[in-house]
Each structure stands twice: as C-alpha cells, then as structure tokens.
C-alpha cells in the first residue's frame, strides 16, 4: 500500500472514531459499550475511544450478554 492510501485510511479511521463518539456521547457507559460492540468495535478499540480499559469493556459486555440470556430464559418460562 502506498503512502497516499495509508494517509487516506488514517483519516477515515479518525472520521469513524469521531462519528462514533458523537453517536454515543449522551449514553451511559454500558449502552456505549453495547452500541460500539454491535457495530464491530473490539473491546480494546472501545476502551481507547471511551478512555477506559479493555478489561472493563469485556466485563461490561459479558454482563450485558448474561442479562440478555436471563431475559430470554424468562420469556420462555412465561
């Protein structure tokens, strides 16, 4: 890949991050992590965007998944 393509990719990466931050800015951390994960960001990328650790993001996403699993099981029992 040549230098021009690399510069374009770097600029696009910045634009994606800025747009993403604008979308999640009024949400709480849990909702931010969920939205960013849903659109394909990895925990490390989410952590970098939100100024936290990847471990914190992983724990939050795990708790969200567990909560969703419990809700699905509860629906089946009703």
Rounded distance between C-alpha atoms, residue 27 and residue 24, angstroms: 5
Please identify which residue in the block is written with the tokens 């999640």.
Answer: 24
- What pLDDT does residue 14 have? 86
Range 46-53, long-range pairs (CB < 8 A, 24+ positions): 49/17, 49/20, 49/21
State the pTM of this model.
0.73
Rounded distance between C-alpha atoms, residue 29 and residue 35, angstroms: 10
- What pLDDT does residue 66 have? 92
Per-10-residue mean pLDDT, the chain, length 78: 88 87 90 92 94 97 91 61
41: DSSP letter: -
- What pLDDT does residue 30 have? 95
């Amino acid at each position: 890949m040549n230098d021009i393509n690399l510069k374009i990719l770097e600029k696009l990466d910045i634009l994606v991050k800025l747009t993403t931050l604008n979308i999640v800015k009024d949400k709480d951390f849990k909702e931010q992590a969920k939205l960013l994960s849903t659109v394909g960001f990895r925990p490390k990328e989410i952590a970098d965007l939100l100024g936290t650790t990847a471990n914190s993001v992983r724990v939050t996403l795990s708790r969200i998944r567990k909560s969703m699993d419990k809700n699905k099981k509860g629906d089946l029992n009703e």
